[in-house]
Structure 1
Amino acid sequence: MQYVPLRSKYKIGTRQSELALVQTESVIEQLHKFYPNIEYEVIKIKTIGDKNLLDPLANIGDKGLFTKELEVELDRNNIDFVVHSLKDVPSTVLPPNMVIGAILERADPRDAVVIAPWHKKTSLSELPHGSVIGTSSTRRIAQLKLNYPQFTYKNIRGNMNTRWEKLNNRELGYDAMIAAVAGLQRLKWNDRISEIIEPDRLLYAIGQGALGIECRHNDIDTIRMLSVLNHEPTVIRCIAERAFLRRIGGGCSIPNAVRTTYIEKELVMDGMLLNLDGSRFVKDHVENLDLTIPITTTKHVPTFFVPHSDDELLLADDEMQAADRRNLKRKRTESDIDSVLVPPPAQQPPSPPLSTTSSTATTSAASTGTETVSLLRHYAHVCGVNINETILENAELCGTNLAVKLMQLGADSILEEIQQSSVIIPTP
């Protein structure tokens, strides 16, 4: 039975760029298929990453450049959820009272080359030696320097429209720029793509190509409403990627990259960490992992499950909702929904020991009979409602274990080198 939302209207937070608005409208379009009578109001919010268009992202700071202001409004209950490009959502510093409530089907996660129109070239390799390539991503710069050392790489900031204008301004000196295929396609700029770079030469960012919807962790109504948008293979891949990033550490200033596939319950994942100029890197992979079988792991690998405390959300069927720490079961009505929701914890409790078995459904006796209650847990800050918990847990462990393999290969020394660097990217 499909869930019936408690509210007739939801407020959606989004950045102000054309791409952000296109992505938000696509989410609304999907929601209308399931909830045709619900109204959605779009609230445009400018983030620090939108306000500062001069400095390279890595020089501004790592944390929440395109999410913080949106999360402030979400925390103040001024909006109900936020539509993000998932690659912009930090894996390490999501506020403790926020979760990714849904992840939609992933678009093409690869990167594309957009060559300036006065060049009669169709690929990077055809551009002359010394050409200037615009990108603000340390991930792209490090890998491109490794594979295309003949070029110069220069910061190019702004939304997609602004970057396109800069590329077309010959006085600024850009010969090409690198952008996500998904963003170009969502703007219907397919004809501007000169070349798509395969992951063998340029691994992509964590979550790239996917849209993630962030909401308050205790807003059970919104989480259940959004769960219809979850695309299982994308959720599983992104949980593995986010777990990898959280364990390896990093943000805009750390060149880390991944590639994942998930076919017939089997996950294949590549992970990479580079120094800023691409001269040093570590890379490894996990493959042919059947996520339906519990994975063993070493005891020092942390888990990112939300502990069994205030952060547990107990969801019953469409007629029941159980929530507080005393496991009090109450009939859900619109008038008492606020008292059913669990308040956010004062501080994040320590992570529990790793478990290689999934949580099973909790059964409680009610006056009308036995009610089955599903325990909603967070995997790398992602809610995987209606997806097998063993698979979600194993996906998280895969990403974590891959990061540990890179640490054993020398990632620590690369991270130390990056942290000691005084200049990340020169500002033009």
Structure 2
Amino acid sequence: MDSKKITRSRAAVALSIATAAVLTGCGVGSSAPAATDDGQPIEVWARAGTDAATTYAALFKDFTAKTGVQVNFQGVPDLDQQLQTRAASKKLPDIVINDSAALGNYTAQGYLKTLDKSSVEGNDKIADSLWDEAKGLDGATYGVPFSRQTMITMIRKDWREKLGLPVPKTQEDLAALAEAFATQDPDGNGQADTYGMTVPGSTERGYLGWWASSYIWQDGGSYLKDEGDGKYSATASSAEAQKGVTWVKQQFCTAGNVQPGALTAATSVASPFFQTGKTGIILTGPYNFSSFDTALGKDTYEVIEAPKGSVDNTVLAEGENIYVTASNGKPEQTKQVINYLVSTDGQKAGMTAGKQPIVRVPVNADVDAAAVYNDPRWGVVQDALKNSSKAFPSAINFVPVKQAVAESLNKIVSDCGSDNIASGLKDLDTAINDELTKQNAKS
């Protein structure tokens, strides 16, 4: 691995350790003073841009009208950076709503209080599997599930039908469709200006590891294995993972199957290729429905069940949890906020109160996404989440693992003339095991 990248990784670990030490004064350590109520409205932060923040504001307006509890809500796009700033002052916001995958990082830095699942009204409406994702390495619960989603495959239906090709059922079908989109002028403009797949192949924020995970899982591979008791081991060099990475590399090394510049493209750079009619396939989240409907037209593209690999059609599941921070001194208001957010009213408000849903697939079993949205595409998302999805481990800090994966895969797929898959994945195993050792999570 590149020495500069190793240095950056070590610096990030050092920062995490330093922040954890600072937060010992927030009530995490046994000798720390108890958090107290400052008399101000309960402060809630979420990673949210303008549209999502508007939905949160409408949701909390409804909450305050129902309960009388005042909420100081802030949508914070650079959430983790701002949390570190607040941690230095030993005063975090009272509640943070963020990715379920952030749990391991937050517990490692001492940001969170443990939670009693039984104290949440309607906790039995939330699947046990989701509660399990909210547990730390010590087995304690550190978050309350709030929203979930899966990656889904979207295809330009008009292009596919113009070329007389079927809906892809397998990875091989998907690759063939991508090649057809790149070579058979599906938009009919007489120019060679279309491509197969939109791919965020950048190492930035681990994007390539994030995107590739579904395809690797579909061939039975994985980046690491949960050995139980809070311990994990790297499995990136397994025969199954090698098979999945072989398919991924073939897409990069087949002219036109991915968009130009894919190896350096983050999602913000990659997604517009699909949205502007340059690519015909994208694996992404349902949060893009609104923008794609506006740009392309709802009937122009289709949402399909993920094509199968050699084993199954597993896709990446993600979502958001509600976290109670170590400096929270408002237990009664906190309980009311949590109970509302996971209630039927709160979940529906999170889906419909603004331009952009902040609850994609509800965690409350009494709420049906396809019915609330009146959109059968959400049924595809719900079915995938229930029947064929997998989440990254949340108990550990998965961020550096995902980063190591992205860097290794980027190196592998960028060298089309080299048979480097086995050796590259063996090196990745070493990097993952080193990170697990740092986190005291290596089996």
Q: Smaller-chain TM-score range?
A: under 0.3
When you count helix as a share of all residues, which structure comes out higher?
A: 2
Give the TM-score, by structure 1 length: 0.25
* Larger RCO, structure (CA 8 Å, separation 6 or more): 2
